Chain A
């Protein structure tokens, strides 16, 4: 079974621009979560989507948003990029449902903001 895929793998943007990252979960997985990983802050939860609805949200400004499509694929968007948004953005999927809490990560998108 194919793993979680993320596109693009690398991205360079300038301050003020916006960016959209994409995530395709493992086949059959219905929950997708997004994380930001930086050397200083570690792995920080952004949001989780299940059945096209945001179920949980972390402590990030409104510039960070996401959505999920009917095929469980998800996108996240960051508007008005800041230098501090440079990070590895990770997507993780899980089956969802009672007892299915194991998450599997994609390879990540490395975002650099200049």
Chain B
């Protein structure tokens, strides 16, 4: 079992819809959770981080964390074609950071 599992893609949504990206993790010692966006040929860009259970909103992005269920998600509202990218879930405990394999999102005009 992988330490971090992301929902298999690719994920395709129409412009204006809500895109939902999910991630589960196995290490209960994980304390910090991150979502990165990576455009093709570019490096990952940090878009959200969440440390406490519940929801955290930033513009069109909402991160949700449920430590009891070992689950973290990212919602993108009013999806735009420019949101088309690979989204990486990551977490950090006392030691290293661990990344998921990513979910590729395509937003169709």
CB 8 Å contact bits of B67-109 with A (1 = contact, 0 = none): 0000000000000000000001010100111111110000000
Within 22-73 of A, Cβ neighbours of B (below 8 Å) are at: 33, 35, 42-43, 45, 48, 56-58
- Cβ contacts under 8 Å, A58 to chain B: 96
Please give the residue numbers on chain B whose beta carbons come within 8 Å of chain A beta carbons, in ascending order: 31-32, 34, 36, 42-46, 49, 51, 88, 90, 92, 95-102
Complex Cα spacing A54 to B60, Å? 38
In the complex the two chains form, what is the Cα distance from A45 to B88 in whole Å? 14
- Cα A56 to Cα B34 in complex, Å, equals 19
**B92: which A residues are within 8 A, CB to CB?**
101
Give the residue of B31, B46, B88, B96 whose beta carbon is less than 8 angstroms from that of A48.
Answer: B96
Which chain B residue has the least Cβ–Cβ distance from A41? B101
The 9 closest A-B pairs by CB, nearest first: A101-B32, A43-B99, A105-B43, A56-B96, A42-B101, A45-B96, A108-B43, A56-B95, A105-B44
Which listed residue, B45, B46, B97, B99, touches A42 by the CB 8 Å rule?
Answer: B99
Give the docked Cα–Cα distance between A29 and B36 (Å): 19
